[in-house]
Amino acid sequence: MSPARLTRRQRELVRELDQLTDLFDLDYWNIQSYPAGAWRTTFLELARNKIVRSQIIIWYTLIDEHLNLRLSRFFYGSKRTTVQLWRTKRYKLFNYHVLEELSLLQKLRFAKAIHPIPKRVAARIEHFNALRNGVAHAFFPENLKKAPPVWRGVSVFTLAGAKILAQDIQEIIDFFLAAGDRP
């Protein structure tokens, strides 16, 4: 099979992705096929907004998962992987009644009590939590006073702001990976 050819499953996924991006109005590459007018700009801005918001939610859940892993290791040790732990009723109960009930900031405070987290990393997680809350709970987060969609002075809905945010999130993830917080 040549490298340019896709498998049957890959072709199915590409078709599904095309349909999902169309369904969710993310097919910005088709903008010229839409009726001309000023609303095209709005459509493109909304597509960018959706992409940025979804990535923020993904990063948030990844950071939350790393905190879950740190708390799990504290209570269950590191001999068993989380896949192995999930096979036990005790771990499932811990997950359902402890980890799922704690907010990200509560998990962060707990994790800091277990093992030090650099102030810079903890501060970025706290700031990121506020950013995520703003974009997740406000249709127009740019109008928020407490948590506008700004990272280090730059709107996250711009390429420059998204790049700064991505670098800082990578620093957080690298910290957890270096600390051995892996599934």
In tens, the pLDDT along 49-74 reads: 999 999 999 999 999 999 999 999 99
Q: pTM higher than 0.85, yes or no?
A: yes
> pLDDT tens for residues 141-179?
888 888 899 999 999 999 999 999 999 999 999 999 998
Q: Where in the chain does DSSP place strands (E)?
A: 150-151, 154-155
Distance CA 69, CA 169 (A): 17
CA 4 to each of CA 7, 10, 11, 15, 47: distance values in angstroms, whole numbers, following the listed order: 10, 12, 12, 17, 29
